[in-house]
Chain A
Amino acid sequence: MSITSFAFLCCYAVLLLLYYVVPKKMQWGLLLIASIGYFLTAGELWLILYPIAAIIIVYCGALYIDRVKEQKKRKTALSLIVVFCLLVLAVLKYCNFGVYTYNALASKLHFTSNYLKEFSFLVPLGISFYTLALLGYVYDVYYEISKPQRNFLKFALFGLYFPVIISGPIVRYRDVENQLYEKHTFDYKQVTFGLQRILWGFFKKLVIAERMAVVVNTVYGEYAVYPGVYIVLATICFAFQLYADFSGGIDIVIGISETFGIKVTENFNTPFFSRSMQEFWRRWHITLGGWLKDYLFYPLLRTRMIAALQEMAKNKFGKKAGKRIATYTAMFVLWFAVGMWHGGSWKFIVGSGLLHWCYIVLGELLEPVWDKLRTSLKVKKENKLFCFFQQTRTFLLVCSGFLFFRSNSLTSACEMYKSVFTTWNPEVLWNGSVLALGLDAVELTIAIVSLLILLVVSVLQQKKSVRERLANKNIVVRWIALYALLFYVILFGYYGPGYSATEFIYQGF
């Protein structure tokens, strides 16, 4: 059941009503039942056994880690839990990655004609999200940041909490432990703010993302027919599609959770306003970045291997370079993991991982050169035009990675890049060809106006919460604005031919 479906909205409305009607001590239990119910309707019934097994193992393991004092035993327990969770994830999500890679190598190098067969597994909903959330919990218990949850059913709610299991954000137990189980009294402002957030999510998903998808699917589906500038245009559209789709889904999820009185961590902070790649990753998929930083990057930087590498490089190349070599090595592993998280495919590893690593490393190494150039041109760092230049540059670099993300394979992405750099056809921007990509003049106008609305709201949001601003207006202005948005979504939500608002791009992860 998709969270944008009518059936889901009806179930959610009933749940919200019940949530504030039942005795408060039963609220978390109601959420657990709803979460199990949501999972059971999302696919094959037996698939729930995967998260249940992970929850049981992590629950028991965390209690054991908390009880024993011997460091060796604690570490062994942690390692076993991590191996189990990652093994299940690897088998279900990455098995075919090994098969594809082996077959591609075999085909190129001709070392065998016996190609491996692909595996076909049914993957439970949100496996990457609940796996990382559960691992984060057990690490926190191990690091003694959190005390383990002793009530199994309460812990099961953390593992299965239905809003965030769909496409994140990746919640940390320490951020939600009190909120999930405490008694919530109906708070008009909180519930209306949550509903407004849901509506905004629908606007992004149905009005922008689905419209952008039409152009993207047309060009990426037949990139030989649509070369050069078409690909650039479609990739920019994809950037907006992905952002609207992913952040729109997160808005809905956070909004739903907010109506239950549970505030989960934000996952986006207007990422396309970033002035550097580093900043972009602090504002895009924030919870994934935070998780990988705390549980992969920091521990990796503190391993003996990285310390030894730093020492060796320091002796050979000096203090600064030594530090950089060690850090960049750890960052390589980090970005490889970011790529892998997005999917078992080289297009993700390159486009969402290693390419970003290259940009960040080059950005740091070349920083003195840029600074010198900027100073010689007498341009101040905070000059608005210069900021805009940096934002545009970062956006285009991000788009260069999105091309890999959206393409069918690494090979297709390379072919598309070849087309971009060898076909010069800017005339398609003004000779009407754009209107042949699936959106007519009216649809295109709606798309542009909607993107402008998104831009204005994003700019306003940077200064002060738009919902707070709206709440301070008088009732007439407030209701006009909300009804206008509601009808805008109903009227202009894109439900093109054969459309079914069933999936979010990140739901597959």
Chain B
Amino acid sequence: MTREALYERLNAVFQDVFDDEDITVNDATTSADIEDWDSLEHINLVSAVEKEFGVKFTMGQVVTMKNVGEMVDIILAAIG
């Protein structure tokens, strides 16, 4: 899967989790850029992303992920 194609699906996940159809994310997007992305929603987001892409983040990745770019790198590495 290309990075662009992945982002298309990832945007849909973000829009669904945060109930906002205007959200579009990129490599530099962080929790500071999305109002409702707090520590509570972080886990819901992670679970939704895992479900969408059939991957499983480790707890280490969950707590150290700094931006969406890192999340995408992990997904791409997992699905090949």
Contact = CB atoms under 8 A, between A and B. Distances in A.
Interface in A298-330: 298-299, 301-302, 307, 323, 327
Contact of A294 (B38, B58, B63): B63
Interface residues of A, number: 17
A144 interface: yes
B39 A145 contact: no
Most chain B CB within a 10 A radius of its CB, from A140, A144, A302? A302
B60 A302 contact: no
Interface stretch (B5-13, B40-48, B69-77): B40-48
A302 B38 contact: no
B63 A301 contact: no
A327 B45 CA distance: 13
A355 to B, nearest CB: 19
B36 to A, nearest CB: 11
Nearest to A360: B40
Interface string A48-89: 000000000000000000000000000000000000000000
B78 interface: no
A304 to B, nearest CB: 12
A297 B58 contact: no
Contacts of B34: none
A145 B43 contact: no
Nearest to B62: A298
B58 A293 contact: no
B32 to A, nearest CB: 12
B40 to A, nearest CB: 5
Contacts of B58: 143-144
A260 B51 CA distance: 47
Nearest to A141: B60
Q: What's the interface size class on B, roughly?
A: 10 to 19
Contacts of A327: 40, 44
Most chain B CB within a 10 A radius of its CB, from A139, A143, A307? A143
Nearest to A293: B39
Interface string A194-230: 0000000000000000000000000000000000000
A179 interface: no
B60 A144 contact: yes
B38 A301 contact: no
Interface string A119-158: 0000000000000000000011001110000000000000
Contact of B47 (A139, A143, A294, A307): A307
Nearest to A174: B64
Given A145-B64, A278-B38, A301 B59 contact: no
Contacts of B47: 302, 307
A226 B60 CA distance: 52
Contacts of B44: 323, 327
A297 B64 CA distance: 15
Nearest to B42: A298
A297 B59 CA distance: 11
Nearest to B57: A302
B49 to A, nearest CB: 13
B27 to A, nearest CB: 21
A294 B63 CA distance: 6
13 contacts: A139-B59, A144-B58, A145-B63, A278-B38, A293-B39, A294-B63, A298-B39, A298-B42, A298-B59, A298-B63, A299-B59, A307-B47, A331-B40
Interface of B: 38-40, 42-44, 46-47, 58-60, 62-64
Given A145-B63, A302-B43, 15 more contacts: A140-B60, A143-B59, A143-B63, A145-B64, A293-B39, A294-B63, A297-B39, A298-B42, A298-B59, A301-B43, A302-B46, A302-B59, A307-B47, A327-B44, A331-B40
